[in-house]
Amino acid sequence: MGNIIFEHVACDCCGEKDYKLRYRKPDNWLWVNQFEFPVVECVKCGLVYVNPRPTQESMRAYYPKDYHDSRDSEGHVKRYSIQTEFLPKLSDEKVLDIGCARGDFLHFLKELNPNIKSYGVDFYSDKVNYKDITFVNKELPDCGFKDNEFDLVTAWAVFEHLHSPDSYFAQVARILKQNGKFVFVVTNAESLYGRKAYAEDIPRHLYHFSEKSLASYALKHGFSISKVVYDDRLWDGRGTGACYYSLQDFFGMTWGKRHFGQITCLQRLIGYIGHALDRMITLVGRNWTRI
């Protein structure tokens, strides 16, 4: 495991220590090591999370130095345009983007709304690329923002990466103005994408949410949920891969065997069949989504 330190944690939302196992998965993007992280579900509130997980400092090993690069590319700009569809009409509001990376979305938003005051926070990014963004390289609870300071707070696929989403929900509730809006995108713990296609980016996605668990956070911190939208235009949240992995699991394929190519002819054939079924189902509809 090198210098990576793991920690066991209770449920971030309700504090329950008991859970049930959903599945195990290694970091099959970077393969920092072959440890298969348990993805568990709280028996009390249903929150899904990685447990045990790397500590905050150890997690840096799972984020390469170029992780935040190229987010001003054409594909990302298209996503930024879609993100603005979920925002209220803006004029001169004070806006905070949590997990702003290099500030590309805030810059895009400010080009559309020149009079907004833009702020960005990101613990893993050391700077933003734009002078008109006030940037803080800290965890949100450590930023020192004032009560009732922001009209709009956004977080685009960020809360699943946090070690303590609860502390961030608490801070957003504190720094939002009375009629302020919090708009965010998170993973959907109840989709085939996460449950059967194993597509969640483990261990970077430490938490997987659902309407039920989000409602628990909202009640706890005084939020009123105005809308929950299931939409895979921002990130592909369909369940492609569910058939492939289900068949491969049934015939004894492990993550390590897949990674190192230790596949029998029969298992390879089963894999082809699984991929074919996934493609056929994908053509039928696009109804496997993330929140």
Whose structure tokens read 């992780």?
67
Cis amide bond preceding 141, omega within 30: no
Tokens of 232: 């895979």
**CB 255 within 8 Å of CB 36:** yes
Across 145-149, average pLDDT: 97
Number of Cβ within 10 Å of residue 41's Cβ equals 20
> Which residue type does 171 have?
Q
Domain residue extents for the chain: 74-184, 242-284
Q: So what's the architecture of 74-184 in CATH?
A: 3-Layer(aba) Sandwich (3.40)
pLDDT > 70? residue 243 = yes
127: its two tokens: 């700077």
Cβ 200 vs Cβ 171: under 8 Å: no
Angle of the 242-250 helix axis to the 265-284 helix axis, nearest 10: 150
β 150-156/176-185 pair status: parallel
- Which positions ≥6 away from 245 have C-beta within 8 Å? 196, 197, 198, 274
d(CA 40, CA 52): 9
More confident residue, 45 or 287: 45
CB proximity list for 77: less than 8 A, separation 6 or greater: 104, 108
pLDDT tens digits for 174-213?
A: 999 999 999 999 999 999 898 999 999 999 999 999 999 9
83-122 pLDDT, tens digit per residue, is 999 999 999 999 999 999 999 999 999 999 999 999 999 9
If you search the block for the tokens 């923002």, which residue do you land on?
145
Q: Provide the percentage of residues in the chain whose pLDDT is more than 70.
A: 95
Residue 161 CA to chain centroid, in angstroms? 5
The predicted model scores a pTM of 0.90
